[in-house]
Amino acid sequence: MKNAVGREIPAEALAVELKNGRKYEPYQGKGYRDGKYIKKAGPTTKIYENPKESKLLPSIREAVIACGLKDGMTVSFHHHFRDGDYIVNMVMKEIVDLGIKDITIAASSLGSAHDPIADYIEQGIVTGIQTSGIRGRMGDVVSHGKLKTPAILRSHGGRVRAVEEGDVHIDVAFIGAPTSDEYGNARALGGKGDCGVLSYAVPDSEYADKVVVITDTLVPYPNFPPSIHGVNVDYVVKVDEIGNPKKIASAAARMTQNPRDLMMAENTAKVIAACPWFKEGFSFQTGAGGPSLAVNRFLEPFMDEIGGITGPICELQRKGLVGKIIDVQDFDVAAIEDIRTNPNHFEMTASEYANPANKGAFVNKLDFVVLAALEVDIDFNVNVITGSDGVLRGAPGGHPDTAEGAKCCIIVTPLTRGRMATICEKVVTVTTPGDCVDVLVTDYGTAVNPARKDIIAALDAAGIKHVPIKELQEKAYSLVGRPDDLQWEDKVVAILEARDGTILDVVKKIKPYQI
Amino acid sequence: MKNAVGREIPAEALAVELKNGRKYEPYQGKGYRDGKYIKKAGPTTKIYENPKESKLLPSIREAVIACGLKDGMTVSFHHHFRDGDYIVNMVMKEIVDLGIKDITIAASSLGSAHDPIADYIEQGIVTGIQTSGIRGRMGDVVSHGKLKTPAILRSHGGRVRAVEEGDVHIDVAFIGAPTSDEYGNARALGGKGDCGVLSYAVPDSEYADKVVVITDTLVPYPNFPPSIHGVNVDYVVKVDEIGNPKKIASAAARMTQNPRDLMMAENTAKVIAACPWFKEGFSFQTGAGGPSLAVNRFLEPFMDEIGGITGPICELQRKGLVGKIIDVQDFDVAAIEDIRTNPNHFEMTASEYANPANKGAFVNKLDFVVLAALEVDIDFNVNVITGSDGVLRGAPGGHPDTAEGAKCCIIVTPLTRGRMATICEKVVTVTTPGDCVDVLVTDYGTAVNPARKDIIAALDAAGIKHVPIKELQEKAYSLVGRPDDLQWEDKVVAILEARDGTILDVVKKIKPYQI
């Protein structure tokens, strides 16, 4: 069955079982579920009616046992520690050592720090992966069909929807926290491994049956105001280190000095300035990457920034160009330092950021979002998950959420990367549907989605040149040639959920290359 | 059927239907549900997937209509505006004017500001009341059997449990807020009617199907950090005034100068100082009333204060005697001013404060709580709801929650008030069960619950005199005489829920006095 972005969704994918009994549908187009209703799930919660001195347990192993973790269960993790995370591997090792099997990992994202999980997949111990990002060895083994069930890949907002709607039920959430008190009130600042905010872990704390906070820095009760509330936490474990601080908080992200990036950034700023939503107090989000972040320097009016935060954004705020910063993830030391002291830098939950099924997330209030892409096709579909070899090595992250929510979604990307065309006829995998993408800015010109006649009119009025996207694709192919078609087997190895829980695309098993 | 505090619970009360199908049980004793599990309820939530400019509606009437409010539904309110509240009456007038009937009001508390609701009860429009406090004309008409169904009276923690467990399902929550943005992010500070915190409204915002924020002060989006999160809010209405600021925030509560109160306070402080939990960093809660608040002045070590907050507590903090203040309600201007500026004064949710069915509320961490009472009987049962005439005119509030949670619950009350014995053979209504009350301090002596052999030993070791509670009751009767038995009809007019959702006692219809 073909979906609204023209992808064939096999029956095998549509038949994948969700915990709440909901049936998968193919993607139906932007805003399909708007105005409909969902019944929120509720966890099963132990009653702690009597006073308890402490929820402290001496080890992760004892917490796994105390939670009653057993075969077939789903465990969850957050990704605020990024490549410095120790939690996933520490917890999974204990689960595996205890002989527990058929485990599904439902993480807000997974990365190259989690290569050891690839072994558990190959051994058939980890049988399900639900995540935004998938990279490194894990992406490799999943792409080669080693995971027992299709991986389910979701946007950050789509994950919160799935948790709240009950598509996935988290049996035990393991939440790494820079600080916690003995009752599980946890914060992202202080201790050895500051990560700024714990936004992505909040739904896990609210919807999992059992919640374990793992910290390397116990602080006196009450650790207030908490990001993770002790009233949702069953156990607290102190370990030596939750992660590698150097990799949790990387050095400050720098504005790009690459002239091509700066040219694209300036052109993007001109597009923004030509749009009717560009006025004092506009709301803005940029990705952390070079050209999209650089757009900030060309924009002068007062704005609010949301989403993943970097030092340069905090810098703009100190200059008076940014009003409030509403933060869901910190990418560098400077951003983490900033939220510690800046009264106009706030943490929000993952649901507040991007959930399509609450009563209005921050992404809905975005005027502009500027995003990157691995590939964009002539229908404006974007791929940020599969490489040119078809292997999983990316993350939809907040890309589909901000693209749908913002009044104007701008993709900034060079026309080619190395010898690959970035603008192509058909992306390998659709991760953000073209009906949510409005403008494409490349180093060879700008294209506007024909559906956005208002933006076309605004650019025309401002004298900003734009071309049909087909011209950009043809230019790209003329420079680096048409890419060979990838070879796939029939087996579905991953499902790309649209943020509303329909199926946007599938990734199939890589076929050994035939010469 | 007699319950664990010896009260006969009629079948009529046990048969009252709860929304989730749970069956009422008689009270089984302290900690009966500890370690058991509940499945949390989940609201039905509209999906706001598309960007929305605003959730603003021009009037409460239009919000009532937009929410689809109809016959038989349950609406909820919070009590942070205390006697200055305009919200309940404004909303109920619109509901009644629209001809909607068979309405249940599920408020965190109701007070004398809500006398007009008594008319709607008499007219049969309001058919159910669920609240902590009930006073004034409303208490009167309910006591006289005018409400169609028994009123359900809960502690603050018991209410959160009931909402989260689904005993009560809130169809539409109306939340008065000192400030809100157009997306429903609401805070308790700023505007014309500051109330300090919005703790009691949080469960309503999380568990109601529809949520309406009513404010008199719209502020720019985003109003962060919010107490009520816009992701849970359907509509925002701006009105001229949400309440009478003079009655919302009364002048600073003063320490009592009454010598009898000060003597009892000093004796209470001596009891506390003799207990093993009295050490630096102990956790403490006092009621707002004269003698219990005055205990603070006799206690010198460093402590944390939780619960309802007054100016004198903030004053102690400024002197370095109180560490953190964790606040669920502000009783005066000074406390509201303090939370605005004091980095160690925090808001918590009602669930964090007192819910017996989460994973551990603040009350569980209390070392001491000092509380008042209308009556205490020889089994240490406390009444804070019915007057000596049997009419409803009080509120369990946080009394049963803190009494069960604290390591040591001390009731401070004079032996007699006017011509009534405070210490009696049998309280009119049990609102806090005697198995949760540890010490009674009166102006004629101190009694310790015989179940607390540890406290008896501690007082003996410190040379603090105490007597059997029976002696205090006999002394009271010798001073003012034995009270006449009250006359009741059979009809149950109110159910007193224990905080765990069992039935502690019932209040019956007042019988016209027979001469």
pLDDT tens per residue, range A295-315:
877 876 677 888 888 888 888
Q: What would the two tokens of residue A423 be?
A: 């603008």
Question: Hey, how many other C-beta atoms are within 10 angstroms of the C-beta on A427?
Answer: 28
- SS3 category, A6: coil
What is the biggest distance separating any 2 CA atoms in chain B, rounded to whole angstroms?
A: 73
- A147 CB-near residues (< 8 Å, 6+ apart): A121, A126, A127, A128, A129, A141, A493
Backbone φ, ψ for residue A49 (5° rounding)? -75, -30
Helices B311-318 and B333-341, axial angle in degrees (round to 10): 40
List of chain A residues whose C-beta atoms are within 8 Å of the C-beta of residue B225: 225, 346-347
Q: In Å, how far are A197, A203, A354 from B187, measured between CA atoms?
A: 21, 22, 22
Rg (CA), chain B: 22
This model of the complex carries an ipTM of 0.95
What pLDDT band is residue A47 in, cutting at 50, 70 and 90?
very high
CB contact under 8 A, B407 and A51: yes
With CA atoms as reference, report the closest residue to B316 among B274, B349, B344: B344
Mean pLDDT of A274-283: 91
List, as one string, the DSSP characters of B277-333.
Answer: T-STTEEEEE-SSHHHHHGGGG--S-EEEEEEE-HHHHHHHHTTSEEEEEEEEE-BH
CB contact under 8 A, B405 and A51: yes
Query: What distance in Å separates the CA atoms of residue B18 and residue A254, rounded to the nearest whole number?
Result: 59
Nearest to A324 among B34, B47, B222 (CB): B222
Backbone φ, ψ for residue B508 (5° rounding)? -105, 170
- B404 CB-near residues (< 8 Å, 6+ apart): A49, B30, B31, B356, B363, B436, B499
CB contact under 8 A, B352 and A230: yes
Query: What distance in Å separates the CA atoms of residue B366 and residue B373, rounded to the nearest whole number?
Result: 19
Query: Taking CA atoms, what residue in B is nearest to A47?
Result: B357
Query: What distance in Å separates the CA atoms of residue B44 and residue B63, rounded to the nearest whole number?
Result: 18
With CA atoms as reference, report the closest residue to A60 among A235, A244, A243: A235
Q: What would the two tokens of residue A95 be?
A: 């689960």
- Residue segments in chain B with a per-residue pLDDT below the cut of 70: 53, 251-254, 288-290, 300-301, 513-515
Backbone φ, ψ for residue B461 (5° rounding)? -60, -35
Nearest to B40 among A42, A233, A404 (CB): A42
Checking if the pLDDT of A316 tops 90, the result is no
pLDDT at A288: 64
Find tokens 């105005």 and name the residue.
A35
List of chain A residues whose C-beta atoms are within 8 Å of the C-beta of residue B407: 51
List of chain B residues whose C-beta atoms are within 8 Å of the C-beta of residue A31: 49-50
Backbone φ, ψ for residue A243 (5° rounding)? -175, 180
CB contact under 8 A, A365 and B221: yes
List of chain B residues whose C-beta atoms are within 8 Å of the C-beta of residue A184: 359-360
Rounded to an integer, what is the distance from CA B322 to the centroid of its chain?
Answer: 24
Q: What would the two tokens of residue A438 be?
A: 């409005």
Q: What would the two tokens of residue A373 be?
A: 């892409």
- B129 CB-near residues (< 8 Å, 6+ apart): B104, B105, B110, B121, B138, B142, B147, B151, B152
DSSP annotation of B458 reads H
pLDDT tens, residue by residue, B69-101: 999 999 999 999 999 999 999 999 999 999 999
pLDDT at B289: 66
Q: In Å, how far are B84, B181, B182 from B218, measured between CA atoms?
A: 20, 5, 7
Cβ atoms of A42 and A71 within 8 Å: the answer is no
CB contact under 8 A, A35 and B47: yes
Position B203, amino acid: P
Q: How far is B154 from chain A (nearest CA, A)?
A: 16
Nearest to A232 among B347, B359, B406 (CB): B359
List, as one string, the DSSP characters of B55-76.
Answer: -EES-HHHHHHHTT--TT-EEE
Query: What distance in Å separates the CA atoms of residue A294 and residue A287, rounded to the nearest whole number?
Result: 10
CB contact under 8 A, A352 and B229: yes
Query: Taking CA atoms, what residue in A is nearest to B324?
Result: A222
What pLDDT band is residue A385 in, cutting at 50, 70 and 90?
very high
Query: Taking CA atoms, what residue in A is nearest to B41?
Result: A42
Q: How far is A401 from chain B (nearest CA, A)?
A: 10
CB contact under 8 A, A51 and B346: no
Q: Which of A53, A231, A367 to mutate to test the interface with B (most CBs of B within 10 A)?
A: A231
CA triple B151-B382-B27, angle to 5 deg: 60
Cβ atoms of B134 and B151 within 8 Å: the answer is yes
Cβ atoms of B443 and B264 within 8 Å: the answer is yes
Query: What distance in Å separates the CA atoms of residue B95 and residue B91, rounded to the nearest whole number?
Result: 6
By DSSP bridging, strand B322-330 and strand B126-131 are unpaired
pLDDT tens, residue by residue, B292-301: 778 877 876 6
Mean pLDDT of A243-257: 79
* Cis peptide preceding A222, ω within 30 of 0: yes
Cβ atoms of B422 and B415 within 8 Å: the answer is yes
* Cis peptide preceding A43, ω within 30 of 0: no
Query: Taking CA atoms, what residue in A is nearest to B355?
Result: A49
Rounded to an integer, what is the distance from CA B33 to the centroid of its chain?
Answer: 21
pLDDT tens, residue by residue, A24-37: 999 999 999 999 99
pLDDT at A515: 60
Under 8 Å CB pairs connecting chains A and B tally to 192
Burial class (CB in 10 A: 0-12, 13-18, 19+), A515: exposed
Query: Taking CA atoms, what residue in A is nearest to B282?
Result: A221
Query: What distance in Å separates the CA atoms of residue B451 and residue B461, rounded to the nearest whole number?
Result: 17
Q: Give the length of chain B.
A: 515
pLDDT at B305: 82
Average pLDDT, chain A: 94
Structure pTM?
0.96
Rounded to an integer, what is the distance from CA A320 to the centroid of its chain?
Answer: 29
Nearest to B360 among A37, A220, A231 (CB): A231
- SS3 category, A509: strand
Q: Which residues pair with A417 in a beta bridge?
A: A420
Query: What distance in Å separates the CA atoms of residue B328 and residue B227, rounded to the nearest whole number?
Result: 11
Nearest to B42 among A40, A224, A233 (CB): A40
List, as one string, the DSSP characters of A98-151.
Answer: TT--SEEEEES---GGGTHHHHHHHTTSEEEEEES-B-HHHHHHHHTT-SSS-E
Query: Taking CA atoms, what residue in B is nearest to A53?
Result: B365
